[in-house]
Amino acid sequence: MSEHSNTDINASILLNRLSIDEKKAIYIINDNGVMRLEIADISQLPLVTLLTTYDLPALSYADVIPEEQIIYVIGTSFNSSQAQTTILRYPL
């Protein structure tokens, strides 16, 4: 697990979702073209605790779908003559 915080002025949060129990926030951050998936504990608001960070491949992301123990991240690559959709799975 690497520690990141969204303090870069050029970083933006994309596709934020809540876990099913609404105790975790799941979101993608674009930090100057570097994409990462972050999971944060929001059960003790206003305290937000970053739990996990995953580096993501360079794709155009369309959706984040949290389920019980798995997060599905859907992205598309436009690098070839035909677009390719990728579904990534990460533990929640």
Q: d(Cα 70, Cα 90) in Å, to the nearest integer?
A: 6
Burial class (CB within 10 angstroms; exposed 0-12, middle 13-18, buried 19+) of 29 = buried
Q: Which residue has the higher pLDDT, 4 or 42?
A: 42
Look at residues 37, 10, 12 and name the one whose alpha carbon lies nearest to residue 26. Answer: 37
Q: What is the pLDDT of residue 55?
A: 96
| pLDDT tens per residue across span 43-62 | 999 999 999 999 999 899 99
| pLDDT tens per residue across span 60-82 | 999 999 999 999 999 999 887 88
Domain range annotation of the chain: 11-91
- Percent of the chain at pLDDT exceeding 90: 74
**Predicted confidence band of residue 1 (pLDDT cuts 50, 70, 90):** very low
Q: What's the pTM?
A: 0.84
